[in-house]
Amino acid sequence: MFKKIKNKSVVQTVVDSITKAIIAGELKPGDKIPTELELAESFGVGRNSIREAIKILVYYGILEIRRAEGTFVCNGFNKIMIDPMVYGVILHQSQDYVNLMELREMMEVGVMRLAIAKYNEEDIEKLKGKLDILKKEIGKGPENIENVFIADNVFHDTVSEMGHNPIVDRINNVVREMTYKMRYRSVLNMLESGRGEELYDAHEKIYKKILSRDLTNLNEDIRRTYFPEEADMDNPDAEDL
């Protein structure tokens, strides 16, 4: 399964090799991996390098250490696996604005498609409740920005949960974390410009499309909730994302 390493980046090569073995199905969820000594002999490297590689894979949620039993491949999806992407984007925000917007639209449209296909009566009632809360918070005026933004987030989180796919839900949450500042600024500008009702109407339209299982023009309807002209997105500096 493993070959001797000649690369000077020993720890990373061990990490990559174990990860590839899992992806290839040579190691499956729940499997116990070889001991540090066995891995060191297989790779032809020191045990310290193996130990550091395992620490990294445990941190990423790919492996877990069970005391007195050994090290095992984790079962299921762990949110820690994808969180490091956020930090990479933060370092290049001003360069990645267009890419982020494309990713955001792609995710939100996909999430809506899942919600439309899979929601049940309990889901749609819950979403209606979140929509009502958003309307209530918007009605309190432009000074209520924090609560409006929270209500906005909860509404979209609920749409994501309606797809009943925890992996898609987690990835969508990561994308929303990446676009936190641009979304906050958009909501802030809508409230300060007296367009809270328009903000609500955009969310109500999403609710109605899901309720009627309407798949038409999803990209256009999602794009209308971004209000880019209000957020002055023509000059997306890093601090504004």
Please state the three-class secondary structure of 206-235 as a single string.
HHHHHHCCCCCCHHHHHHCCCCCCCCCCCC
pLDDT tens per residue across span 128-170: 999 999 999 999 999 999 999 999 999 999 999 999 999 899 8
Domains of the chain: 10-78 (1.10.10.10), 82-240 (1.20.120.530)
Query: How distant is the alpha carbon of residue 223 from its chain centre?
Result: 19
Q: What is the pLDDT of residue 7?
A: 47
Q: What is the pLDDT of residue 22?
A: 85
Q: How far apart are CA 128 and CA 207, in angstroms?
A: 7
Per-10-residue mean pLDDT for the chain, 241 residues long? Answer: 62 88 87 94 92 88 90 75 55 64 91 97 97 97 94 96 93 84 89 94 95 93 73 42 39
Q: How far apart are CA 65 and CA 78, in angstroms?
A: 15
Short-list 56, 38, 36, 43, CA closest to 17: 43
The CA–CA distances, whole Å, from 181 to 10, 98, 112 equal 38, 14, 22
Contact 131, 154 (CB under 8 A): no
What does the radius of gyration of the chain's CA atoms come to, in whole angstroms?
A: 23
Write out the two tokens for 123.
């889901």
Short-list 139, 121, 111, 126, CA closest to 225: 111
Q: How far apart are CA 202 and CA 65, in angstroms?
A: 47
- Amino acid occupying residue 45: V
Q: DSSP for the chain?
A: -------S-HHHHHHHHHHHHHHTTSS-TTPBPPPHHHHHHHHTS-HHHHHHHHHHHHHTTSEEEETTTEEEEPPS--GGGTTHHHHHHHTTTTTSHHHHHHHHHHHHHHHHHHHHHH--HHHHHHHHHHHHHHHHHHTT-GGGHHHHHHHHHHHHHHHHHTT--HHHHHHHHHHHHHTHHHHHHHHHHHHHTT-HHHHHHHHHHHHHHHHTT--TTHHHHHHTTS-TTTTTTTS--GGG-
Contact 71, 63 (CB under 8 A): yes
Question: CA torsion, points 163, 207, 105, 173, in degrees to nearest 10?
Answer: -50
